[in-house]
Structure 1
Amino acid sequence: MLGANLLAFWGLAVIAFIWVTLYPDAVYTFLGQSTVLEIEKMYNPTGAVQTETRAPDKDILMFGVYIYNNIGIAFQMFAGGVLLCFGAVFFLLFNSFYFGAIGAHIVNVGFEKTFFSFVITHGSFELTAIIIASAAGCQIGYALLNPSQFTRSYAMKKAAQTALPLIVGAFVMLVLAAFIEAFWSPRAIAHEIKFVVGTVCWTYVIYRLYRGMRYGT
């Protein structure tokens, strides 16, 4: 189930990225102009957002905002899985397309260093946690669709027991992602350093996914 969710998320993200890269105006078929302009403003390397120094109290505030947003998205995916998987799949693909389309648009306008150096580190934990939450929800939804020889209530109970470690893991990763996004990602540090740190985090996350999917650890 986790493998299918990983493939679905990154597959659609790549499709959206290629589509918007080749047809830049396609971003407006999915996102409103005001949203696109706000994102451009956020990652413009010469804009106020990137050049102003953020106060420590703002970091703490944003930490809370990021936790709220991240866990809200993950809960939507997990709870949506109960709706026979459809809810989880919808939110997974929505976020996948959004990420791919925004990434391509940022490249098109030339703000890619600012954008990718900002998201690379916390994105390793955040995006993976969202996919894990979707997989956990789909496990429960699939148990309702296909309870095998069990009653649906018992099949759902067994699926919930299997999904619980995934949910706990996703929660821990989302808190860590929020911490990184609040206190590390916005720092005025050389892009190259952020890319190195982000690469280390992605390597660790991919390794843990590989271990978990192959050995159950």
Structure 2
Amino acid sequence: MDLDAYVLDRAGEWDRMEQLARRRRLTAAEADELVVLYQRAATHLSVLRRRSPDPVVLADLSRQLMAGRAAINRGQGFAWRAIPRFLLRTFPAQLYETRRWWITLGVLLMAAGTALTWYINAYPQVAAHFLNEDQIADLVGGDFVGYYSEYRPQNFAGQVWTNNAVLTAQCIAAGVLILPVFYLLGVNLLNIAITGGVLFGNGAGDTFLTYLAPHGLLELTCVFIGAAVGLRIGWAWIAPGPARTRRQALTDRARSGMLIAIGLVPVLAVAGLLEAYVTPSTLPPAARIGLGALAWLAFVAYALLLGRAAQSRGAPDEGAGYELPQA
């Protein structure tokens, strides 16, 4: 191997790594490039050491590697100032960018759920395929209402939060395969429709709406967003878009999905608190539903109004980047 040619051929990558390491802020693409260049340079250093080249070359490359490693480690540090930027710019901008996906999916699923609930209400024999007479009697007699007050509110809120977060994460993670997302949505949609159809069919439709609406508006919207984002990731394989490879499209969509998944965590926590404290409370039904509707409207305004303003400032790209403090 011609060592001089080897060094000359790769010196540009080493210089580029050092340039990126000196920057205070890196976009997501630049941060990824820095990591790749660092990994390559580490391999190059290992090769050069085995060939015993000029110690000056070894020392210079080692210095550049140390700078690259220090920059990567600094970028991994936690910065409290990143939280407001994420919540006020990055997350709402990502929600706005994906709005056509989750609004369309939400409307379709709500229409399908309403139709299925009506069908089960109109044809009670359908519910008999899923529940026996005793189970239907228990559901109407108090199991549905009792579910929301079975545990202490703080414990129930944590349980609901965890369950919904897992479901949303599953939808996002399974999106690359597309079909599993529809399975997860279908199972949950069927469960809600069976419960609603049975309660409406037994004259307890108002109870169903009173105990579902306070938390369900926000909770289901989060699930719709997670499912839509997952399907968007899967669609990147099928239609990556012009001037992009499938790998590039998938990487971009997956990064956006991860940002949205992180942002949905506190939103689902709010939905969990509503389900644990507002849904089973002694407040009048109109007050409970009103509180849930206000929370939902606030989130929609956050996603569409604040998201539009954030996207106009280029927040998605900035929020996905890394801030590297000066040494």
Please, what TM-score do these two structures have when normalized by structure 2?
0.56
Q: Structure 1, residues 21-66: CA drift from partner, whole Å, max 9, x if none?
A: 211221233x33376455333236xxxx38xx959x7112212211
Is 2:125 the counterpart of 1:25?
A: yes
Superposed, 1:68-79 pairs within 5 Å as: 68-79=162-173
| SS of structure 1 residue aligned to 2:280 | coil
Percent identity reads: 20
| 2:189 partner letter | S
CA shift for structure 1 position 177: 0.7
Partners of 1:124 and 1:210 in 2: CA distance: 16
Name the counterpart of 2:144: 43
Name the counterpart of 2:21: none
CA shift for structure 1 position 181: 1.0
Q: Structure 1, residues 109-145: CA drift from partner, whole Å, max 9, x if none?
A: 1223333222211111100000000011111111122
Name the counterpart of 2:102: 2
Partners of 1:87 and 1:9 in 2: CA distance: 16
131-140 vs 160-169, greater mean Cα deviation: 160-169
Distance 1:75 1:189, change over 3 A: same
- Contact 1:143 1:159 (C-alpha < 8 Å) held by counterparts: yes
Partners of 2:225 and 2:115 in 1: CA distance: 21
Between the two proteins, the alignment pairs up a number of residues equal to 208
CA shift for structure 1 position 13: 0.4
Which of 178, 181, 190 does residue 272 from structure 2 map onto? 178
Is 2:202 the counterpart of 1:109?
A: yes
| SS of structure 2 residue aligned to 1:82 | helix
Comparing both chains, which one has the higher relative contact order based on Cα–Cα distances under 8 Å and sequence gaps of 6 or more? 2
Gaps (5+ residues) in structure 2? Answer: 1-100, 312-327
Distance 1:14 1:203, change over 3 A: same
- Contact 2:169 2:226 (C-alpha < 8 Å) held by counterparts: yes
Distance 1:157 1:38, change over 3 A: farther
Partners of 2:112 and 2:306 in 1: CA distance: 23
Partners of 1:104 and 1:212 in 2: CA distance: 37
Name the counterpart of 2:114: 14
Name the counterpart of 2:160: 66
Name the counterpart of 2:188: 95
Distance 1:15 1:115, change over 3 A: closer
RMSD of equivalent CA atoms: 2.8
CA shift for structure 1 position 206: 4.5
| 1:23 partner letter | Y
Is 2:185 the counterpart of 1:119?
A: no
Distance 1:146 1:109, change over 3 A: same
| SS of structure 1 residue aligned to 2:152 | helix
Distance 1:138 1:20, change over 3 A: same
CA shift for structure 1 position 8: 2.7
- Contact 1:21 1:105 (C-alpha < 8 Å) held by counterparts: yes
Partners of 1:159 and 1:181 in 2: CA distance: 31
Which protein is bigger by CA-based radius of gyration? Answer: 2
Partners of 1:131 and 1:9 in 2: CA distance: 8
